Amino acid sequence: MNDKGLSYIDLFAGAGGLSEGFIQSGYRPIAHVEMDGYAARTIETRIAYYYLKENNKLESYYKYERNELSRNQLLELIPEKELKTVINKEMSETTIKGIFQIIDTIKAEKEIGQVDVIIGGPPCQAYSLVGRAQSSHMIVPMDDDPRNELYKMYVQFLNRYKPRMFVFENVAGIKTARGGQAFKNLQKYMRKVGYEIEYHELNAYDFGVLQSRKRVIIVGWLKGTGYKYPVFETIHSNAKVWDLLKDLPELVPGESADRYTMCDMRKVRRYVKDSGIRTKSDLLTGHVARSHTTRDIEIYKRVIDLWFNNGQHKRLKYDDLPENLKTHKNRTSFVDRFKVVEGDMDHCHTILAHLSKDGHYFIHPDIEQHRSITVREAARIQSFPDNYYFEGPRTAQFVQVGNAVPPMMAKVIADKIKEQLEK
Protein backbone atom coordinates (compact mmCIF):
# COMPACT_ATOMS: atom_id res chain seq x y z
CA MET A 1 0.00 0.00 0.00
CA ASN A 2 1.24 3.50 -0.68
CA ASP A 3 3.64 5.14 1.80
CA LYS A 4 2.61 8.64 0.79
CA GLY A 5 -0.46 10.71 1.43
CA LEU A 6 -2.37 11.53 4.57
CA SER A 7 -2.33 8.95 7.37
CA TYR A 8 -5.22 7.54 9.39
CA ILE A 9 -6.12 5.09 12.15
CA ASP A 10 -9.35 3.14 11.83
CA LEU A 11 -11.00 2.15 15.13
CA PHE A 12 -13.75 -0.46 15.38
CA ALA A 13 -12.94 -1.01 11.72
CA GLY A 14 -15.41 -3.81 10.93
CA ALA A 15 -14.89 -5.12 7.42
CA GLY A 16 -13.30 -1.84 6.37
CA GLY A 17 -16.08 0.07 4.57
CA LEU A 18 -15.04 3.43 6.02
CA SER A 19 -11.38 2.60 5.50
CA GLU A 20 -12.03 1.66 1.87
CA GLY A 21 -13.32 5.16 1.14
CA PHE A 22 -10.24 6.73 2.70
CA ILE A 23 -7.88 4.44 0.77
CA GLN A 24 -9.71 5.24 -2.47
CA SER A 25 -9.18 8.90 -1.61
CA GLY A 26 -5.42 8.35 -1.35
CA TYR A 27 -4.89 8.05 2.42
CA ARG A 28 -2.48 5.51 3.92
CA PRO A 29 -3.54 3.38 6.88
CA ILE A 30 -1.47 3.26 10.06
CA ALA A 31 -3.71 0.72 11.78
CA HIS A 32 -7.10 -0.96 11.64
CA VAL A 33 -8.32 -2.06 15.07
CA GLU A 34 -11.07 -4.69 14.97
CA MET A 35 -12.03 -7.36 17.49
CA ASP A 36 -13.97 -9.69 15.15
CA GLY A 37 -11.70 -12.29 13.64
CA TYR A 38 -13.53 -12.68 10.34
CA ALA A 39 -13.77 -8.92 9.77
CA ALA A 40 -10.05 -8.54 10.55
CA ARG A 41 -9.27 -11.25 7.99
CA THR A 42 -11.38 -9.40 5.45
CA ILE A 43 -9.28 -6.26 5.98
CA GLU A 44 -6.08 -8.32 5.60
CA THR A 45 -7.39 -9.66 2.31
CA ARG A 46 -8.19 -6.12 1.17
CA ILE A 47 -4.67 -5.04 2.07
CA ALA A 48 -3.40 -7.94 -0.05
CA TYR A 49 -5.56 -6.73 -2.95
CA TYR A 50 -4.13 -3.22 -2.87
CA TYR A 51 -0.52 -4.34 -2.44
CA LEU A 52 -0.75 -6.78 -5.34
CA LYS A 53 -2.54 -4.21 -7.49
CA GLU A 54 0.18 -1.62 -6.89
CA ASN A 55 2.82 -4.20 -7.79
CA ASN A 56 1.03 -5.50 -10.92
CA LYS A 57 0.52 -8.93 -9.37
CA LEU A 58 -3.29 -9.04 -9.17
CA GLU A 59 -3.41 -12.46 -10.81
CA SER A 60 -2.34 -13.92 -7.45
CA TYR A 61 -5.33 -12.25 -5.82
CA TYR A 62 -7.66 -13.67 -8.45
CA LYS A 63 -6.15 -17.12 -7.90
CA TYR A 64 -7.04 -16.75 -4.24
CA GLU A 65 -10.61 -15.83 -5.14
CA ARG A 66 -10.76 -18.92 -7.38
CA ASN A 67 -9.43 -21.09 -4.53
CA GLU A 68 -6.29 -21.81 -6.54
CA LEU A 69 -4.14 -20.22 -3.83
CA SER A 70 -4.42 -20.84 -0.09
CA ARG A 71 -4.74 -18.00 2.36
CA ASN A 72 -1.25 -18.65 3.71
CA GLN A 73 0.14 -18.56 0.18
CA LEU A 74 -1.63 -15.26 -0.46
CA LEU A 75 -0.39 -13.61 2.72
CA GLU A 76 3.17 -14.81 2.11
CA LEU A 77 3.19 -12.45 -0.88
CA ILE A 78 2.43 -9.44 1.33
CA PRO A 79 5.12 -7.66 3.42
CA GLU A 80 4.69 -8.05 7.15
CA LYS A 81 4.70 -4.27 7.62
CA GLU A 82 1.45 -4.11 5.64
CA LEU A 83 -0.29 -6.98 7.42
CA LYS A 84 0.66 -5.81 10.91
CA THR A 85 -1.55 -2.74 10.42
CA VAL A 86 -4.49 -5.05 11.18
CA ILE A 87 -4.81 -5.32 14.95
CA ASN A 88 -7.30 -8.06 15.79
CA LYS A 89 -7.94 -7.20 19.43
CA GLU A 90 -10.91 -6.28 21.56
CA MET A 91 -10.66 -2.73 22.80
CA SER A 92 -10.81 -2.35 26.59
CA GLU A 93 -8.99 -0.74 29.50
CA THR A 94 -6.84 -3.87 29.80
CA THR A 95 -5.86 -4.07 26.12
CA ILE A 96 -5.60 -0.44 25.06
CA LYS A 97 -2.01 0.07 26.23
CA GLY A 98 -0.87 -2.93 24.19
CA ILE A 99 -2.71 -1.57 21.14
CA PHE A 100 -1.02 1.80 21.64
CA GLN A 101 2.38 0.06 21.69
CA ILE A 102 1.68 -1.73 18.40
CA ILE A 103 0.55 1.51 16.73
CA ASP A 104 3.54 3.41 18.10
CA THR A 105 5.83 0.79 16.57
CA ILE A 106 4.09 1.05 13.21
CA LYS A 107 4.33 4.85 13.28
CA ALA A 108 8.04 4.67 13.98
CA GLU A 109 8.67 2.11 11.23
CA LYS A 110 6.72 4.18 8.70
CA GLU A 111 8.31 7.40 9.97
CA ILE A 112 4.93 8.97 10.65
CA GLY A 113 4.90 11.88 13.04
CA GLN A 114 1.48 13.38 13.57
CA VAL A 115 -1.54 11.27 12.71
CA ASP A 116 -3.72 13.12 10.23
CA VAL A 117 -7.11 11.47 10.86
CA ILE A 118 -8.76 8.97 13.18
CA ILE A 119 -11.92 7.35 11.83
CA GLY A 120 -14.49 4.81 13.01
CA GLY A 121 -17.16 4.29 15.62
CA PRO A 122 -17.99 1.66 18.25
CA PRO A 123 -20.41 -1.19 17.47
CA CYS A 124 -23.72 0.36 16.62
CA GLN A 125 -25.92 -2.38 18.13
CA ALA A 126 -25.59 -0.83 21.56
CA TYR A 127 -27.20 2.37 20.29
CA SER A 128 -29.59 0.93 17.73
CA LEU A 129 -33.23 1.91 18.08
CA VAL A 130 -34.17 -1.49 16.67
CA GLY A 131 -31.92 -3.26 19.13
CA ARG A 132 -33.18 -1.22 22.05
CA ALA A 133 -36.70 -2.26 21.22
CA GLN A 134 -35.64 -5.83 21.92
CA SER A 135 -33.90 -4.97 25.18
CA SER A 136 -36.56 -6.56 27.38
CA HIS A 137 -35.93 -9.93 25.76
CA MET A 138 -32.16 -9.82 26.18
CA ILE A 139 -29.97 -11.36 28.87
CA VAL A 140 -28.02 -8.09 29.04
CA PRO A 141 -30.35 -5.11 28.54
CA MET A 142 -29.15 -2.42 26.16
CA ASP A 143 -28.69 0.11 28.95
CA ASP A 144 -26.26 -2.28 30.66
CA ASP A 145 -24.44 -3.27 27.47
CA PRO A 146 -20.69 -2.70 27.99
CA ARG A 147 -20.47 -1.55 24.37
CA ASN A 148 -22.19 1.64 25.52
CA GLU A 149 -18.88 2.70 27.07
CA LEU A 150 -16.67 2.01 24.06
CA TYR A 151 -16.83 5.62 22.94
CA LYS A 152 -14.44 6.32 25.83
CA MET A 153 -11.85 4.15 24.06
CA TYR A 154 -12.21 6.29 20.96
CA VAL A 155 -11.56 9.44 23.01
CA GLN A 156 -8.46 7.89 24.54
CA PHE A 157 -7.05 7.47 21.03
CA LEU A 158 -7.81 11.12 20.30
CA ASN A 159 -6.02 12.14 23.45
CA ARG A 160 -2.94 10.03 22.73
CA TYR A 161 -2.44 10.66 19.00
CA LYS A 162 -3.97 14.13 18.62
CA PRO A 163 -5.03 13.69 14.99
CA ARG A 164 -5.60 16.88 13.06
CA MET A 165 -9.17 15.77 12.37
CA PHE A 166 -11.38 12.82 13.19
CA VAL A 167 -14.56 11.19 11.89
CA PHE A 168 -16.83 9.41 14.35
CA GLU A 169 -19.67 7.39 12.80
CA ASN A 170 -22.67 5.72 14.40
CA VAL A 171 -26.37 5.04 14.11
CA ALA A 172 -28.89 7.80 14.76
CA GLY A 173 -29.92 6.03 17.97
CA ILE A 174 -26.70 7.11 19.68
CA LYS A 175 -28.27 10.56 20.22
CA THR A 176 -30.98 9.15 22.49
CA ALA A 177 -29.35 6.04 24.00
CA ARG A 178 -29.41 6.06 27.80
CA GLY A 179 -31.60 9.14 27.74
CA GLY A 180 -29.14 11.00 25.55
CA GLN A 181 -26.50 11.05 28.28
CA ALA A 182 -23.97 8.88 26.45
CA PHE A 183 -23.97 11.23 23.47
CA LYS A 184 -23.62 14.29 25.69
CA ASN A 185 -20.70 12.65 27.51
CA LEU A 186 -19.05 11.73 24.23
CA GLN A 187 -19.12 15.33 23.01
CA LYS A 188 -17.90 16.62 26.37
CA TYR A 189 -14.92 14.25 26.39
CA MET A 190 -14.03 15.08 22.78
CA ARG A 191 -13.93 18.78 23.61
CA LYS A 192 -12.01 18.13 26.82
CA VAL A 193 -9.11 16.50 24.94
CA GLY A 194 -8.72 19.48 22.63
CA TYR A 195 -11.25 19.32 19.82
CA GLU A 196 -13.91 21.45 18.28
CA ILE A 197 -16.72 19.28 16.99
CA GLU A 198 -19.87 19.36 14.94
CA TYR A 199 -22.28 16.59 14.08
CA HIS A 200 -25.03 16.00 11.53
CA GLU A 201 -27.32 13.14 10.69
CA LEU A 202 -26.42 12.17 7.13
CA ASN A 203 -28.01 9.72 4.71
CA ALA A 204 -25.91 7.53 2.41
CA TYR A 205 -28.60 8.08 -0.24
CA ASP A 206 -27.48 11.72 -0.48
CA PHE A 207 -23.96 10.52 -1.31
CA GLY A 208 -24.96 8.55 -4.41
CA VAL A 209 -25.57 5.24 -2.63
CA LEU A 210 -28.78 3.47 -3.76
CA GLN A 211 -29.90 2.94 -0.16
CA SER A 212 -31.50 4.95 2.61
CA ARG A 213 -28.99 4.69 5.44
CA LYS A 214 -29.00 7.39 8.13
CA ARG A 215 -25.97 7.82 10.33
CA VAL A 216 -24.69 10.39 12.80
CA ILE A 217 -21.33 11.70 11.62
CA ILE A 218 -19.26 13.71 14.10
CA VAL A 219 -16.29 15.57 12.62
CA GLY A 220 -13.74 17.05 14.98
CA TRP A 221 -10.62 19.18 14.52
CA LEU A 222 -7.89 20.41 16.83
CA LYS A 223 -8.75 23.71 18.45
CA GLY A 224 -7.16 26.65 16.71
CA THR A 225 -6.59 24.92 13.36
CA GLY A 226 -9.44 26.69 11.59
CA TYR A 227 -10.84 23.51 10.11
CA LYS A 228 -14.61 23.00 9.98
CA TYR A 229 -17.34 20.49 9.25
CA PRO A 230 -17.28 19.71 5.52
CA VAL A 231 -20.03 20.94 3.24
CA PHE A 232 -21.46 17.99 1.32
CA GLU A 233 -23.29 18.53 -1.94
CA THR A 234 -26.25 16.21 -2.44
CA ILE A 235 -25.55 13.45 -4.97
CA HIS A 236 -28.55 11.55 -6.30
CA SER A 237 -28.27 9.07 -9.11
CA ASN A 238 -30.83 8.43 -11.83
CA ALA A 239 -30.14 4.73 -11.45
CA LYS A 240 -32.56 2.22 -9.96
CA VAL A 241 -31.75 -0.51 -7.48
CA TRP A 242 -32.40 -2.97 -10.30
CA ASP A 243 -29.29 -1.60 -12.01
CA LEU A 244 -27.17 -3.08 -9.21
CA LEU A 245 -28.60 -6.55 -9.76
CA LYS A 246 -29.19 -6.99 -13.48
CA ASP A 247 -25.73 -8.27 -14.49
CA LEU A 248 -25.62 -10.86 -11.71
CA PRO A 249 -26.69 -14.43 -12.48
CA GLU A 250 -30.26 -15.34 -11.64
CA LEU A 251 -30.49 -17.81 -8.80
CA VAL A 252 -33.22 -19.81 -7.14
CA PRO A 253 -32.97 -20.81 -3.47
CA GLY A 254 -29.93 -22.94 -2.76
CA GLU A 255 -28.09 -22.08 -5.99
CA SER A 256 -24.79 -20.27 -6.41
CA ALA A 257 -22.78 -18.79 -9.26
CA ASP A 258 -19.18 -17.69 -9.70
CA ARG A 259 -19.43 -16.31 -13.24
CA TYR A 260 -21.24 -13.23 -14.49
CA THR A 261 -24.13 -13.84 -16.88
CA MET A 262 -23.48 -10.50 -18.50
CA CYS A 263 -19.81 -10.63 -19.50
CA ASP A 264 -19.83 -7.79 -22.03
CA MET A 265 -19.05 -4.70 -19.93
CA ARG A 266 -20.72 -2.52 -22.55
CA LYS A 267 -24.05 -4.00 -21.47
CA VAL A 268 -23.50 -3.57 -17.75
CA ARG A 269 -25.56 -0.74 -16.28
CA ARG A 270 -23.77 2.59 -16.26
CA TYR A 271 -24.13 3.09 -12.50
CA VAL A 272 -22.33 -0.20 -11.79
CA LYS A 273 -19.43 0.79 -14.06
CA ASP A 274 -19.17 4.49 -13.23
CA SER A 275 -19.23 3.82 -9.48
CA GLY A 276 -16.40 1.30 -9.79
CA ILE A 277 -18.53 -1.46 -8.32
CA ARG A 278 -17.58 -3.72 -11.20
CA THR A 279 -14.57 -3.58 -13.49
CA LYS A 280 -13.65 -5.73 -16.46
CA SER A 281 -11.17 -7.87 -14.54
CA ASP A 282 -13.39 -8.61 -11.51
CA LEU A 283 -14.40 -12.12 -10.49
CA LEU A 284 -17.77 -12.92 -8.96
CA THR A 285 -17.71 -14.07 -5.33
CA GLY A 286 -20.28 -14.26 -2.56
CA HIS A 287 -23.20 -14.90 -4.91
CA VAL A 288 -24.75 -17.79 -3.03
CA ALA A 289 -28.48 -17.96 -2.39
CA ARG A 290 -29.92 -19.31 0.82
CA SER A 291 -32.18 -22.33 0.77
CA HIS A 292 -35.76 -21.47 1.71
CA THR A 293 -38.73 -23.50 2.85
CA THR A 294 -41.73 -23.96 0.58
CA ARG A 295 -43.71 -21.74 2.97
CA ASP A 296 -41.17 -18.92 2.83
CA ILE A 297 -41.02 -19.08 -0.96
CA GLU A 298 -44.79 -18.76 -1.18
CA ILE A 299 -44.70 -15.76 1.15
CA TYR A 300 -41.85 -14.17 -0.85
CA LYS A 301 -43.88 -14.44 -4.05
CA ARG A 302 -46.83 -12.72 -2.39
CA VAL A 303 -44.60 -9.96 -1.03
CA ILE A 304 -42.99 -9.31 -4.42
CA ASP A 305 -46.28 -9.40 -6.29
CA LEU A 306 -47.94 -6.98 -3.88
CA TRP A 307 -45.12 -4.45 -4.15
CA PHE A 308 -44.88 -4.42 -7.93
CA ASN A 309 -48.57 -4.91 -8.78
CA ASN A 310 -49.41 -1.88 -10.90
CA GLY A 311 -46.68 0.05 -9.12
CA GLN A 312 -48.73 0.19 -5.92
CA HIS A 313 -45.73 -0.30 -3.61
CA LYS A 314 -47.73 -1.98 -0.89
CA ARG A 315 -46.11 -3.94 1.92
CA LEU A 316 -47.51 -7.26 3.06
CA LYS A 317 -48.80 -7.35 6.63
CA TYR A 318 -48.18 -10.57 8.45
CA ASP A 319 -51.81 -10.85 9.59
CA ASP A 320 -52.96 -10.74 5.97
CA LEU A 321 -51.29 -14.04 5.20
CA PRO A 322 -53.40 -17.20 4.99
CA GLU A 323 -53.34 -19.14 8.26
CA ASN A 324 -51.37 -21.99 6.70
CA LEU A 325 -48.47 -19.59 6.03
CA LYS A 326 -48.35 -18.09 9.53
CA THR A 327 -45.80 -19.58 11.90
CA HIS A 328 -45.51 -16.94 14.62
CA LYS A 329 -48.01 -16.42 17.42
CA ASN A 330 -46.62 -12.95 18.18
CA ARG A 331 -48.33 -10.92 15.47
CA THR A 332 -47.28 -7.50 16.75
CA SER A 333 -43.50 -7.95 16.45
CA PHE A 334 -43.73 -9.59 13.03
CA VAL A 335 -46.15 -7.24 11.30
CA ASP A 336 -43.54 -6.19 8.70
CA ARG A 337 -41.33 -9.25 8.96
CA PHE A 338 -41.23 -9.67 5.18
CA LYS A 339 -40.01 -6.91 2.89
CA VAL A 340 -38.87 -6.86 -0.74
CA VAL A 341 -35.86 -4.82 -1.88
CA GLU A 342 -37.25 -1.84 -3.85
CA GLY A 343 -35.85 -2.72 -7.28
CA ASP A 344 -37.86 -0.09 -9.17
CA MET A 345 -36.81 2.82 -6.96
CA ASP A 346 -33.63 4.91 -6.77
CA HIS A 347 -32.88 3.62 -3.28
CA CYS A 348 -33.90 0.75 -1.03
CA HIS A 349 -34.33 0.37 2.72
CA THR A 350 -31.34 0.02 5.03
CA ILE A 351 -29.15 -3.05 4.75
CA LEU A 352 -28.74 -4.51 8.26
CA ALA A 353 -26.57 -7.12 9.94
CA HIS A 354 -29.82 -8.97 10.63
CA LEU A 355 -29.33 -10.43 7.17
CA SER A 356 -27.21 -13.01 8.96
CA LYS A 357 -30.30 -14.35 10.77
CA ASP A 358 -32.66 -14.68 7.81
CA GLY A 359 -33.38 -12.88 4.57
CA HIS A 360 -37.07 -12.16 5.10
CA TYR A 361 -36.49 -8.43 5.30
CA PHE A 362 -34.40 -8.37 2.13
CA ILE A 363 -36.24 -10.32 -0.55
CA HIS A 364 -34.90 -10.15 -4.09
CA PRO A 365 -37.29 -8.15 -6.31
CA ASP A 366 -37.46 -10.80 -9.04
CA ILE A 367 -40.49 -13.04 -8.43
CA GLU A 368 -38.95 -15.77 -10.58
CA GLN A 369 -35.98 -16.02 -8.22
CA HIS A 370 -38.17 -15.94 -5.07
CA ARG A 371 -35.29 -15.75 -2.60
CA SER A 372 -33.47 -13.41 -0.26
CA ILE A 373 -30.50 -11.44 -1.54
CA THR A 374 -26.95 -12.81 -1.55
CA VAL A 375 -23.88 -11.39 0.17
CA ARG A 376 -22.70 -9.94 -3.15
CA GLU A 377 -26.04 -8.26 -3.81
CA ALA A 378 -26.07 -6.78 -0.30
CA ALA A 379 -22.47 -5.62 -0.78
CA ARG A 380 -23.38 -3.90 -4.04
CA ILE A 381 -26.26 -2.07 -2.37
CA GLN A 382 -23.70 -0.94 0.22
CA SER A 383 -21.49 0.23 -2.73
CA PHE A 384 -18.67 -2.27 -2.12
CA PRO A 385 -16.74 -3.14 -5.30
CA ASP A 386 -17.04 -6.71 -6.58
CA ASN A 387 -13.32 -7.23 -5.93
CA TYR A 388 -13.95 -6.80 -2.21
CA TYR A 389 -13.70 -10.31 -0.75
CA PHE A 390 -15.48 -11.04 2.53
CA GLU A 391 -13.93 -13.71 4.74
CA GLY A 392 -15.70 -16.24 6.94
CA PRO A 393 -18.93 -18.23 6.65
CA ARG A 394 -21.92 -16.63 4.97
CA THR A 395 -23.49 -15.51 8.25
CA ALA A 396 -20.30 -13.65 9.18
CA GLN A 397 -20.14 -12.08 5.74
CA PHE A 398 -23.68 -10.76 6.06
CA VAL A 399 -22.82 -9.22 9.44
CA GLN A 400 -19.76 -7.53 7.95
CA VAL A 401 -21.70 -6.08 5.05
CA GLY A 402 -24.69 -5.04 7.16
CA ASN A 403 -22.57 -3.19 9.73
CA ALA A 404 -20.40 -1.38 7.21
CA VAL A 405 -20.20 2.24 6.17
CA PRO A 406 -20.84 2.42 2.40
CA PRO A 407 -17.44 3.04 0.77
CA MET A 408 -18.98 5.48 -1.70
CA MET A 409 -20.16 7.67 1.18
CA ALA A 410 -16.85 7.24 3.00
CA LYS A 411 -14.86 8.41 -0.03
CA VAL A 412 -16.82 11.66 -0.30
CA ILE A 413 -16.18 12.35 3.40
CA ALA A 414 -12.49 11.50 2.96
CA ASP A 415 -12.17 13.77 -0.08
CA LYS A 416 -13.74 16.72 1.74
CA ILE A 417 -11.49 16.31 4.75
CA LYS A 418 -8.46 16.01 2.50
CA GLU A 419 -9.32 19.34 0.89
CA GLN A 420 -8.90 21.01 4.26
CA LEU A 421 -5.84 19.09 5.43
CA GLU A 422 -3.92 19.70 2.22
CA LYS A 423 -4.48 23.47 2.10
The catalytic residues are 124
DSSP 364: -
- Is the CA virtual torsion 379, 383, 386, 388 positive or negative? negative
CA dihedral (363, 379, 166, 117) in degrees, to 10, reads 180
Name the amino acid, one letter, at 55.
N
Name 214's bridge partners. 203
Residue 128 gets the label, from left (phi > 0), alpha (psi -120 to 50) or beta, of beta
Closest CA to 341 of 322, 361, 321, 323: 361
Distance CA 133, CA 141 (A): 10
DSSP assignment string, 227-238: --PPP---B--S
The b-or-e profile of 244-280 (16+ CB within 10 A means b, else e) is bbbbbbebebebebeebeeeeeeebbebbeebebbee
Nearest to 395 by CA among 370, 378, 416, 415: 378
Q: CA geometry: angle at 97 spanning 91 and 103, to 5°? A: 85
Q: Are 34 and 61 in contact (CB under 8 A)?
A: no
Amino acid at 126: A
Q: How many helices (H) does the chain have, and how many strands (E)?
A: 15, 7
Rounded distance, CA 323 to CA 308, Å? Answer: 23
- Cα 175 to Cα 48, 128, 169, 172, 206, distances in angstroms: 37, 10, 12, 6, 21
SS3 sequence of 46-105: HHHHHHHHHCCCHHHHHHHHCCCCCHHHHHHCCCHHHHCCEECCCCCCCCHHHHHHHHHH
